[in-house]
Each structure stands twice: as structure tokens, then as C-alpha cells.
Structure 1
Amino acid sequence: MFPQLQILHDTKKQRSKEDVSESLLWTTCQRTLRFSWTADLKQWEGRLGVYASGEEAHALLLEIISGLHSQLFGEREVYYQFLDRFKDLRLQNEPNASMWIAFRKLIIEQFEFIKETYLKDLRANSYINLIRDLLPASGNIVIFGTGNLAESLLEDLDTNQYEIIVYGRSSSRLKHIDKKYQTRCHHLEEYTPISAFHIIASTEFSPTLLKEIVQTNTIVDFRENISNSQGEYKNYHTLEKRFEIANSLKYPEVKERITKDIRNYVKSIYQSKNLSYANN
């Protein structure tokens, strides 16, 4: 397996962007992870996050991509983010590229087993279900953003029920979404206010445009660490507020059970590997 694997997992709101030599960096809106086979990451423990190595690090990564450490317990977006960061093309220029590519392949195989074995009860925990009670019965839905979150939302929205329009800045991402989901896609600059349910699934958004839209439309803002600056409008909903309302989705006892299952699964893999070495 991967006894040399080391991970630093940082979930603080204010996270350091400090470069650590011989490490691979993976950053999302909720966390920063640094991976290494050779660097001594333990010296950065605390300052750059929680440290884990070997079997513990292996289990931690599987827990993370299973959504067990996410604000929305069991969400799927973090797995798509892992796939994006660990694409073969993005790994080829990294030190020890062949090891990272083999590592990625094995982690995907193990996650698929975990998903089918331990995560079946969490399939309802998605970002769209976080706002299900706000969605209209039918009509227009506008999504600002073309990243993994936008794709996760598109996978769960019924195109027969809604007319969905996606706005973004990246031409390549818009083409990808248009081809994959067969929905209307436009550059952000082409947006003109319409009567619709609006979802902000982009890290950046114009405050001026937000103020213009929120006066007459319901908006769900999925950006993190956004205070309700439009608090005077009852139809403006922040991600933080939705997490408060849906706090029961975290299921502490379920998290404890699944975490234990994953750690036992990883332990059995390492024990089996050690036994095979001993017999050779």
C-alpha cells in the first residue's frame, strides 16, 4: 500500500498558501491538503493542518472524498474535486508522477467499493436537497457557475420540470456543460435579469448584479463565508444559513459508524499486504 504517504489537512477559514517543497497541493473552498511521499510534513503539523501518515493518511483521504469531513455530510462534490485535481494530465508534471497516477487509480477503486458498501444511506445528502424546500414547482432556474458544484446541481435537477440556464466565464466549461447536460449556456456578460430561481455556484459574483437580482427573485448563494448582506430580503439564502437549517444531515452517529467502517476497511488492506510480504 502507501506506508510513505503523508498528508496535512487544513480546514481553518484563514488557511496558509505557503509552498512546501516536494509536496502536492489540493485546495478547495472547505480545505487545503498537502500530500508527499518524501518531504517531512510532520514539521508543519498544526501550522498547516492536521498531520497523518501511512494507513491513517490513506483512511483520512477516503473519509474526505466520501464527504465525511464536509459541512454537508456525505456530499459528492468533494469527490469530483478530487478527480479534477488528480487528473493524469495534472499529475504528469509533479515529482513522482507515476506514483501519484497509480495512487489515484487505487483510491478511485477503493472509493467505489466504499460508496456501494457504506455510503448507500447518504445518497440523499446533496446540495440540491439542501435547497429542495425552496425550489419552485416549475419554471426557470438560472445557475451562475460552471464548476463541480454547478455540475452536481445539474445532475439532480429535472430538465423536464425546469428550464435551466447556465452562465459562466469559461468558454470551454460552458461547451462541456452544454454537451453533457444539453442545457442553455451563455457567457456571464450576456446575462439580463429575468424572473427565475437563481443559484450562485461561483466563487466570485458582482455585488451590484446580486443587489439587482435579489429585489425580485429568490437567490441561493452557495459561496462560503458570505454574510447575509442582503438580509433585508427574505428571498436571499446563504449557504451558511442553509447548513444551520439542515444541521440534522450531519447524523453524528452515522458519521461515527461509517468512519469506523472505512478505517477498518483500510486496516484490513494493510494487514493483508503485510501478511503477503511475510509469506514471501
Structure 2
Amino acid sequence: MSRTSRLISVLAAPTSPSLSTSDPQAPAVAVLPVTAAAAARAEAIAERLGVACLDPEQADAPDELLLVRVDNRIELRPPCSWGLPDFHIDYLSGALGHRLRQGVHAAPMLARACGVRGRSCPHILDLTAGLGRDGMLLASLGCQVTLVERQPLVGLLLEDALLRAAQALPWVRERVELIVTDALESSDLPVCEVAYLDPMFPARDKTAQVKKEMQLFHRLVGRDSDSDRLLERARGLAHQRIVVKRPRKAPFLANRPPSGSITGKTTRYDIYPVT
């Protein structure tokens, strides 16, 4: 299938990424269909992840990390002891949804760092997809974007969000590919023009809701303690540049100074040309 007509895909890793979270006392993972109508889809998800599928009557199970099929989306329901709200990824509402529909006016610093200018839209390989927000912004500008995520639970939430977004934003199916694998281990990643890295770092947003969202995300994926190795891995995959997103005052990744940086009030994009 040609890249311009590529559907969203989730590819199995050569060796399956670990389903465990970064929390050493993490609870068991299970899938829960809220209604009987969602049972078939829930069972398919549970089989894919190799976890239990609960009966809808077990909706109040307090000690499990639940993937819940609600209406037309998948939510992550943390254990009651975590004190965190249910979580899902959404590209159609709020400020992000507005920016994605704007397209050409979205994320000027990000676009400049990745070399997006006019009709010049490089293929972006996002090796730390996470919530997929930057990748989606780049795709809205016209870039082909390959999202790589190694945490299977996050990968499932990403896939669900992309499929929902594609119903309202036709370009998602044309430009976005999702691969669930460990970028440090996989030998099947595509060569690209720009490799993009956004290693996990403590959230600096001031609103309580964002902090709770990132608390849950930290529990799932940790802080990317091996992110220094990704910089070297990216050199073998990009043939124009590597872009690393960092908090404005954070140290350089792997202590390697970039050739240049684009700096905003809270965020810095470090640029490493590939020679």
C-alpha cells in the first residue's frame, strides 16, 4: 500500500513490548466492556494484550487498571487507590482539536524546528509518540508522520484516538501511521527525513487537570531513562535532522550540544543535523 493511502496500522513488535507499567506495585491489567454491546470488541482487545476480559457487572473492581470500552472510545480507568481520573486520548475537542483543524497556523515553533516550510513537508519519524499530539500537529501541516510507541496500553489508546479522529479529519488516514514497538529494539522502522524525540520529563503545566493526566502517564511509561540511547538510534534513521523537544532550561539530551535551538517561554527544540 502506498504511503499516501496508508491506513492507520498497529504493527506487532519483533519481540512484544512489556505490558507492565513503570510502577513497581502496579495492579493487574484487565479489559472491561461497560455494556453487553461492547463485549465482542472488549474480548478482542483483551486477547490482543493477553489480559483478562471482565464481566460488565465488575465495573467497580477497585484494584485493577482497567481498559474500559465506553460509547465509541476506549478509556483507561486507574485503580481507586491512585486517586486519578479516567483517561482517554482525544484529537477532536478543546484547544488541540481547534489547532488540528487550523492546519497551516498550528505550532509554528515545532514546524520551524522540523523544517516544515510552505509545501516542504518532510516525513517525520516520532520515536517517542506518547500522547501523539506533536505528531498530529505535524500531520495537520501536511507531513507524513510515523508514530512509534513502545507501551502497549498507550499504543492501544493512540490507535483508538486516531481511528476516531480519522472520521472527522480525512488527512489522518492519508498521513499518519502508528507502530507499537520499542524503537531501540526494532529493526523494521522506516528511514525518514526528520527524527523527532520528546522524552518523558516531569510535567510543568500549572493546571491541576493536566498534572493528574501526566501523573497517570508517568505511571504507565516512566521517565524514559534510556532516552540518551534514542539520540544515537535516531542518527541511523534520519537523513536530514534530529529534533529533540525539551523543557526550556533542561540539559541537552545525552549532554550533546545541538547545532542550534529554537526556544520559547517553556519549551526548547534542539536541532541536530545528520551528516
Q: TM-score band, normalised by the shorter chain?
A: 0.3 to 0.5
- Structure number with the higher helix fraction is 1
Larger Rg, first or second structure (1 or 2): 1
